[in-house]
Chains A and B, each alone.
Chain A
Amino acid sequence: MHRISVTVNGTTREGEVEARTLLVHWLRDSLGLAGTPIGCDTSNCGACTVLMDGRSVKSCSVLAVQADGSEVTTIQGLANGEWHPVQKAFKECHALQCGYCTPGMITAAVDLLGENPDPTEEEIRHGLEGNLCRCTGYHNIVKAVELAAGEMREAAK
């Protein structure tokens, strides 16, 4: 067993983990942060995407022990008093249906906008290529990211 300490959604969390414990399983099963779902075994779907030290990662493809000392933000930690602009835009644009891909999709979009505040449609689609959605055809997801980008640029002025 390995002792780890990870700042998760702003709070330091400590635990004992087996080496093989995936970050997503630790988040879900040990910390009870079940908002981050698991959608595949092959790191294709991106449903489990979280921010690790500020960048998007697929939490099914990181060992919990590798996250030791890191800062992790999950969908449950994105709102800071009020919803993140991407969360608002997803609701506004009907960018989700079943919602299972949504935590990963939103997290990936937050990462994308952190790097590129004014992306083209093409750049948005590139930025989300690691996240699969089966309900929306991505149409409204792209619209939501465009809306959020505009809101965030406006707020930054």
Chain B
Amino acid sequence: MEINTKGVEHIGSELKSEKFKLLFRRFLFNKLAVVGTVIVILLCLFSIVGPFMTKYGPLDIDPMNRLQPPSADHWFGTDNFGRDLFSRVVHGGRVSLVVGFSAALLTAIIGMIIGLYSSYYRILDHVLMRICDGLIAFPDILLAIAITAILGPNPFNVVIAITIVKVPAMARIVRSAALVVKEQTYIEALKAQGASSWRIIWVHMAPNTISPFLVQMTYVFALSIILEAGLSFLGAGVPAPNPSWGNILYDGKAVIFRAWWMTLFPSIFITLAVLGLNLLGDGLRDLLDPHTSKANKKLK
């Protein structure tokens, strides 16, 4: 019997790795998704390794070398305080990516909880969805500014502000997917097998909402980076002198005709990050939802 079950598990794991390989191959087939993934990975690597590639710190002021154009010494040039722009962009990238990712993760978790529970309990649904409607009615950036104005401008509060702004959309998406799942016969069959509500919601409904959830999470990540940059640009985000892509842009605005590099480099990075994440999101959507798959379209 011992040997028998070992054999069973072996077959199981073999089948699973087979399926994983198949999924991976389908992912490689989608060129744009691969490009998006590569961009995101490179940006992450860049903000991890970058700080070690330069001898300048992001806050080192050098008044003699203000507004220097890009050179072998200062790769991206210097800003109006003579700080090395490469170092600032790299450190700012760390802040932007961490803030963006934390906001996306927090939004995902809270959105998942709200979405699942409101799809399952009708009265809770009415209450939670009206609150979400209220939040959606505000323009994103305005609501985010209001929240950071109350809480104070620092990266942690920016994460909270972005989360509050983005949770309603996430909750709606999870809810609509969960509502479809809830009506399936297997949920009724599970109830008939004596499964508790907790088990039905988390073990059975949650995995069935995972694909729209993951796709939305990548979009929230991208939107968080834009929102964070916007907030920092307006002075409601990461406070000076700490760098973030948004507040470097703000510093560059005053000298845009004398020092184009101060605007160009952070802009390129914001664009790349958002582009990469959106491509990744589109790719994931194609991969996880067979109905819109590019591969299918080509077959037609």
Are A and B a genuine interacting pair, yes or no? no
List residues of chain A with CB under 8 Å of any chain B CB.
Answer: none
